[in-house]
Amino acid sequence: MTMRPSKLAAVLCTAALALAVLCGSIAVPVLFRPFYYVQIDALELPQKTGWSHETIRVAYDEVLDFCVFNRPFGTGDLAWSESGRSHFADVQKLFWLDFAVLGAALTVFGSLLVLRRRGKLVFWRPLGRGPGFWAGVLAAGLVLVIGTLAALDFDRAFVVFHALFFPGKDNWIFDPAADQIIWVMPEVFFRNCALLIGALLLAGCGALILWDLLRARRMDAR
Q: What is the pLDDT of residues 27-43, one digit of tens each?
A: 999 999 999 999 999 99
The phi and psi torsions of 168 (rounded to 5 degrees) equal: 75, 10
The answer on pLDDT for 1 being more than 50 is no
Q: What is the pLDDT of residues 179-214, one digit of tens each?
A: 999 999 999 999 999 999 999 999 999 999 998 888
Instruction: Give the C-alpha separation, 157 to 154, whole Å.
Output: 5
pLDDT at 222: 59
pTM: 0.90
| Residue 120 banded pLDDT, cuts 50, 70, 90 | confident
Distance between terminal CA atoms of the chain?
19
Residue among 76, 88, 40, 93 nearest 180 (CA) = 76
Cβ contact 37:154 at 8 Å: no
Helices (H), the chain: 7-31, 34-42, 45-49, 53-69, 82-117, 131-152, 154-165, 181-184, 187-221
Counting Cα atoms < 13 Å in the Cβ hemisphere of 1 gives: 4
